[in-house]
Amino acid sequence: MQRSCLAVILAAGESTRMKSSMSKVLHPVAGRPMIAHVTAAVASAGIADVALVVGRDAEKVAAAASVEGVSVTPFLQAERLGTGHAVLAARAAIEKGYDDVLVTYGDVPLITEQPFLAAREALAAGADVVVIGFHTDKPTGYGRLLVKDGELIAIREEKDATESERAVTWCNSGLMVINGGKALDYLLQIGNKNAKGEYYLTDIVEIARANGGRVVAVDAPEAELTGCNNRAELAMVERLWQERRRTELMVEGVTMVAPETVFLSYDTAIGRDAVIEPNVVFGPGAVIESGAIIHAFCHIEGARVSSGATVGPFARLRPGANLAEGAKVGNYCEVKNAEIGKGAKVNHLTYIGDAEIGADSNIGAGTITCNYDGVNKAKTKIGHGAFIGSNSSLVAPVAIGDGAYVASGSVITEDVPDDALAFGRARQEVKPGRAVAVRERALAIKAAKKAGR
Ligand code: UD1
Ligand code: CA
């Protein structure tokens, strides 16, 4: 779209019902602050300039709102005098002159770019105000859209509505687009003579019409407009977000055996033909390439699992874990900041941190990279085709060469060259027949105790 647009995001609400020490819009949905979901939708709609109206935590909220593609300017609304008053807090931004001024709320994290695009299209087609409405069977509390001959003639707030107006089920989402050339003129005409004594943004409908403007409403899905006022609603919004994203991924070719037990982050990327078994949790920054398999009960965050690699069951991949093609990380393993080479196997009960493991190496059960001395972190490098015997401790910094072999139970503190065999444990001694003597002594002690009683 060629028209310029400013998005004004209202987030100065007091969040009383969240009973929280931080602003409501900072609470995360799918691992990302609510407000960032809104600015991401704004960015997807091709809108780069955001005026953010805040009442508290201005710096934090502005920082959380800054996603790729938008530039965010915070405006403080010191007194909370209503939605019309809130938009005017961003007056300096509106005065810069935009073709369109979009108003949205900061607590609608399920919003997508679609309603914004539809509303802006209707504005471009000749309207002066376009309100985004939704149909609902629970209209209580919302402003009602009063329509006549295809035009929106008023939005009536619940408290100001007559009985017949309350029966209307087409409701105001609060989101709208206003002709940028007329926005300020309209906004400055909003008064506060109503049941709540607030400056209602919704009055802009009648004001625009009184000034010869055309006002229409466009429809959007109720689910996208779900707001979030308390923790129960936060959990509901999370559930709706998860359901929507899982469905998208499955439609794109991801297999989920029990999707309702898989938890995604806002940026979880999963390729075609990947299989995600039950009870898997993705933190931010997970990339699962096509054909990878994530077995049940894994926790994966900031990690990449390449094509054909398998993880779990019961594995934890922490930030910086990168599994190359065909690599395997099995049960009760934790991997952090480590490259696991092509076809390498880390199958059982192992911690790999700050490490590089070459292709086709085999890391035995119970291997630990000792990467931390209590002060500093150090790196373990393992070449390709190496074999680390079970229950080995690799004390970093240390390097194990290509094709090297570490004997089980070793504590490795020095580098092992290519193709070398390293023992780092006490040598075994065998005393023929000595077990008999040990056993006889034990039996004698037992008999003496019994006689003494
Ligand atoms: C508003 C609409 C109502 C609509 C509903 C949808 C008005 C008068 N009413 O009602 O028609 O159906 O939203 O949810 O606009 N805010 C500020 N500063 C203020 C007041 C509000 O930033 O001074 C922000 C809030 O943080 C919130 C949003 O604006 O994000 C809506 O405010 P709220 O008080 O919840 O409006 P409602 O009374 O629910
Ligand atoms: Ca509300």
How far apart are the CA of 141 and the centre of ligand 2, in A?
Answer: 8
53: domain CATH number? 3.90.550.10
Q: Which ligand is closest to the CA of 8, given by its number?
A: 1
Whole-number Cα distances in Å, 451 to 438, 443, 447 = 21, 13, 6
pLDDT for 45: 98
* Residue pair 275/259 in contact by the 8 Å Cβ criterion: no
Give the residue among 338, 394, 389, 386 at the shortest CA–CA distance from 361.
386
For residue 436, is pLDDT > 90?
Answer: yes
- d(C-alpha 157, C-alpha 163), whole Å: 12
* Residue pair 83/201 in contact by the 8 Å Cβ criterion: yes
Instruction: Mark whether 35 and 132 lie in a shared domain.
Output: yes
How far apart are the CA of 206 and the centre of ligand 2, in A?
Answer: 21
Cβ-proximal residues to 150 (8 Å cutoff; 6+ apart), any chain: 216
For residue 415, is pLDDT > 70?
Answer: yes
Q: Cβ(155) to ligand 1 under 6 A?
A: yes
- d(C-alpha 375, C-alpha 396), whole Å: 13
- The structure tokens listed for 102 are 């979009």
How far apart are the CA of 8 and the centre of ligand 1, in A?
Answer: 13
Give the residue among 144, 135, 137 at the shortest CA–CA distance from 162.
144
Instruction: Mark whether 186 and 313 lie in a shared domain.
Output: no
Q: Which ligand is closest to the CA of 109, given by its number?
A: 1
For residue 57, is pLDDT > 80?
Answer: yes
Q: Cβ(36) to ligand 1 under 6 A?
A: no
Which atom of ligand 1 lies nearest, measured to the CA of 172? 12
Place of tokens 């395997």: 328
Q: Which ligand is closest to the CA of 197, given by its number?
A: 1
* Residue pair 151/127 in contact by the 8 Å Cβ criterion: no
Determine which residue's CA is closest to atom 19 belonging to ligand 1: 82
Instruction: Mark whether 331 and 317 lie in a shared domain.
Output: yes
Instruction: Mark whether 349 and 416 lie in a shared domain.
Output: yes
How many structural domains comprise the chain? Answer: 2
Which atom of ligand 1 lies nearest, measured to the CA of 155? 11
Q: Last residue of a domain, which of 164, 198, 225?
A: 225
Q: Cβ(339) to ligand 1 under 6 A?
A: no
Instruction: For residue range 254-272, list pLDDT tens digits in order.
Output: 999 999 999 999 999 999 9
Per the residue annotation, which of 37, 135, 295, 348 is the catalytic one? 348
The verdict on residue 430 lying in a domain is no
Cβ-proximal residues to 371 (8 Å cutoff; 6+ apart), any chain: 353, 354, 355, 377, 378, 379, 380, 396
The reply to whether 348 belongs to the active site is yes
The verdict on residue 446 lying in a domain is no
- d(C-alpha 189, C-alpha 209), whole Å: 12
* Residue pair 360/382 in contact by the 8 Å Cβ criterion: no
Instruction: Mark whether 366 and 266 lie in a shared domain.
Output: yes
Q: Cβ(53) to ligand 1 under 6 A?
A: yes
Instruction: For residue range 156-175, list pLDDT tens digits in order.
Output: 999 999 999 999 999 999 99
Q: Last residue of a domain, which of 225, 259, 279?
A: 225
- d(C-alpha 301, C-alpha 283), whole Å: 4
For residue 453, is pLDDT > 80?
Answer: no
Give 195's pLDDT tier (boundaries 50, 70, 90).
Answer: confident
The verdict on residue 261 lying in a domain is yes
Instruction: For residue range 344-378, list pLDDT tens digits in order.
Output: 999 999 999 999 999 999 999 999 999 999 999 99
Q: What is the 3-state secondary structure (H, E, C) of the chain?
A: CCCCEEEEEEECCCCHHHCCCCCHHHCEECCEEHHHHHHHHHHHCCCCEEEEEECCCHHHHHHHHCCCCCEEEEEECCCCCCHHHHHHCCHHHHCCCCCEEEEEECCCCCCCHHHHHHHHHHHHCCCCEEEEEEECCCCCCCCEEEEECCEEEEEECHHHCCHHHHCCCEEEEEEEEEECCCHHHHHHCCCCCCCCCCCCHHHHHHHHHHCCCCEEEEECCHHHHCCCCCHHHHHHHHHHHHHHHHHHHHHCCCEECCHHHEECCCCCEECCCCEECCCEEECCCCEECCCCEECCCEEECCCEECCCCEECCCEEECCCEEECCCCEEEECEEEEEEEECCCCEEEECCEEEEEEECCCCEECCCCEEECECCCCECCEEECCCCEECCCCEEECCEEECCCCEECCCCEECCCECCCCEECCCCCCCCCCCHHHHHHHHHHHHHHHHHHHC
Mean pLDDT of the chain: 97
The verdict on residue 102 lying in a domain is yes
The verdict on residue 428 lying in a domain is no
Instruction: Mark whether 137 and 266 lie in a shared domain.
Output: no
Q: Cβ(168) to ligand 1 under 6 A?
A: no
Residue range 68-80: average pLDDT?
96
Helix axes 34-44, 113-124, angle to 10 degrees: 40
pLDDT for 226: 92
Residue range 413-420: average pLDDT?
98
* Residues in the chain, total: 453
Instruction: Mark whether 215 and 288 lie in a shared domain.
Output: no
The verdict on residue 152 lying in a domain is yes
pLDDT for 56: 84
Which atom of ligand 1 lies nearest, measured to the CA of 13? 26
Instruction: Mark whether 218 and 251 lie in a shared domain.
Output: no
Which atom of ligand 1 lies nearest, measured to the CA of 200? 8
Q: Cβ(202) to ligand 1 under 6 A?
A: yes
How far apart are the CA of 372 and the centre of ligand 1, in A?
Answer: 51
The verdict on residue 450 lying in a domain is no
Q: Which one of 14, 83, 171, 207 would you pick to mutate in the ligand 1 pocket, going by the greatest count of ligand atoms within 8 A of its CB?
A: 83
For residue 13, is pLDDT > 90?
Answer: no
- d(C-alpha 76, C-alpha 12), whole Å: 8
Q: Cβ(9) to ligand 1 under 6 A?
A: no
Instruction: Mark whether 345 and 216 lie in a shared domain.
Output: no
**Strand-pair category, 170-179 with 100-105:** antiparallel
pLDDT over 90 for what percent of the chain? 96
pLDDT for 1: 67
Instruction: Mark whether 244 and 188 lie in a shared domain.
Output: no
For residue 416, is pLDDT > 80?
Answer: yes
Which atom of ligand 1 lies nearest, measured to the CA of 142? 12
pLDDT over 70 for what percent of the chain? 100
Instruction: Mark whether 212 and 248 lie in a shared domain.
Output: no
Determine which residue's CA is closest to atom 13 belonging to ligand 1: 174
pLDDT for 2: 87
Q: Last residue of a domain, which of 225, 246, 276?
A: 225
Q: Cβ(200) to ligand 1 under 6 A?
A: yes
Q: Alpha-carbon Rg of the chain, whole angstroms?
A: 31
How far apart are the CA of 122 and the centre of ligand 2, in A?
Answer: 25
pTM for this model (two decimals): 0.93
Q: Which domain holds residue 189?
A: 5-225
Q: Cβ(98) to ligand 1 under 6 A?
A: no
Q: Cβ(13) to ligand 1 under 6 A?
A: yes
Instruction: For residue range 83-124, list pLDDT tens digits in order.
Output: 999 999 999 999 999 999 999 999 999 999 999 999 999 999
The verdict on residue 432 lying in a domain is no
Instruction: Mark whether 406 and 315 lie in a shared domain.
Output: yes
In the chain the first and final C-alpha atoms are separated, in Å, by 98
Place of tokens 């900072």: 26
